[in-house]
Amino acid sequence: MHKRISINTALPGKAKSRVMIIYTGGTFGMTYDATGVLIPFDFSLILQQLPALRNLFLDITVISFDQPIDSSNIQPAHWKMIGEIIFENYQEQDGFVVLHGTDTMSFTASALSFMLPGLAKPVIFTGAQLPISEPRSDARENLITSLEIASARENGQPLVPEVCIYFDYELLRGNRSKKVESMHFDAFRSENFPSLAKAGVKIDYNLSAIRKPDKGSLRLLTTFCSDVSVLKLFPGIESRTVEAILQTVGLKALILETYGSGNAPSAPWFIDTLTKAIKKGILILNISQCPGGMVVQGKYETSKFLAEIGVISGGDMTLEAAVTKLMLLLGEFEMDQVKRKINLPVAGELS
């Protein structure tokens, strides 16, 4: 069970929108007790910390995990919990704000974008680099603006009907985002896709970049297969290292983090090892180590052989999107379908 708190900041029947906050854990919701130890924040007291919430005129429901999760401990089971909360409350809410630790926020936002085909309402992930109790905390602005975006409508329709991350005055597509900073407030970046909105004196929406709502009613996919591994290439990598990973018991897919536009060593032992793995049925997906740009297999001689032996190009997907999409596809479909679907865009994750 999860804790449920109602916070109505509007007169009865006068609420601008109904928005659900899902608190999973993370720095945002921490505060200090009398002894100076960080403990989870009591969201029933949120109006004391953020009196400006009253000016949003929202009917807010807070769902809080019984045991807040440090985002370094996030697992697919937690993605399922978040997805189920959204799915079960979808009809009665106009939008959702998910408070989540920053370390794995891009993974969770990516996962949710694939788990919710048919999504037509905002799901805005946010968090903070400093606890809400800190005088200089970024939590207040991040939450207030996230709530405003989650409730924003035009002609009766949500302005941002997709899974996003809002942080430090910028709204990014969730499955295009990557955490790039741990010491400053601008923690996230999207190198291969423009911002969906920027918040200044007003919120300036980039309407041409925002996805149109998916057709059909909302569905929820929750079967994940974690038989996935990631191999980051580096000069001097040994054959025994590559072989050890590819010989992992039960391995179904490998994400190969290559150089530049998808390049890899052309040493015979490397080509032979990958070829054997592919013939055994292991899917190998090529994702660039570069945060910007994309994989173009065959642009250089050092990537042409990858396409020839059956490595699949991941285009301009982030590692976070590739991992979560692969896990969900492997859980929901047979391998031949996974191979067909992995490099086809389903939630705006690929150009």
Q: How confident is the model at residue 10 (pLDDT cuts 50, 70, 90)?
A: low
pLDDT tens-digit map of 138-188? 888 999 999 999 999 998 899 999 999 999 999 999 999 999 887 777 888
Tell me the pLDDT of the chain averaged across its residues.
90
Residues 6+ apart with CB under 8 A from 157: 213
Is the pLDDT at 194 greater than 60? The verdict is: yes
pLDDT of residue 140: 87
DSSP assignment of 160-209 equals --SEEEEETTEEEEGGG-EE--SSSS--EE-SSS--SEEESSSEEE-TTT
Whether 102 and 187 have beta carbons less than 8 Å apart is answered as: yes
Question: Over 80: is that where the pLDDT of 261 sits?
Answer: yes
Name 100's bridge partners.
Answer: none
- The percentage of the chain sitting over the pLDDT mark of 90, rounded to a whole number, equals 70
Across residues 36-60, what is the average pLDDT?
76
| pLDDT over 60 at 9, yes or no | yes
- For residue 67, pLDDT over 80 is answered with yes
- CATH architecture assigned to 228-341: 3-Layer(aba) Sandwich (3.40)
CATH no. for 3-205 = 3.40.50.1170
CB proximity list for 72: less than 8 A, separation 6 or greater:
101, 103, 104
- Mean pLDDT lowest among 9-18, 89-98, 300-309: 9-18
The more confident residue out of 67 and 250 is 250
- Residue numbers annotated as active site: 27
Instruction: Report d(CA 95, CA 20) in Å as an integer.
Output: 7
CA distance 47 to 5: 12
Q: Say yes or no to pLDDT of 80 above 80.
A: yes
For residue 114, pLDDT over 60 is answered with yes
d(CA 346, CA 338): 13
Distance, CA of 347 to chain centre:
11
Q: Report strand pairing: 197-199 vs 170-173.
A: antiparallel
Tell me the mean pLDDT in the region 303-307.
88
Phi, psi of 49 (to 5 degrees): -80, -35
Q: DSSP string covering 99-137, please?
A: E--STTHHHHHHHHHHH-TT--S-EEEE--SS-TTSTT-
Q: Do domains 3-205 and 228-341 have the same CATH topology?
A: yes
* Ramachandran assignment for 147, one of left (phi > 0), alpha (psi -120 to 50 degrees), beta (any other): alpha
Can you give the pTM of this predicted structure?
0.93
Would you list the domain boundaries of the chain? 3-205, 228-341
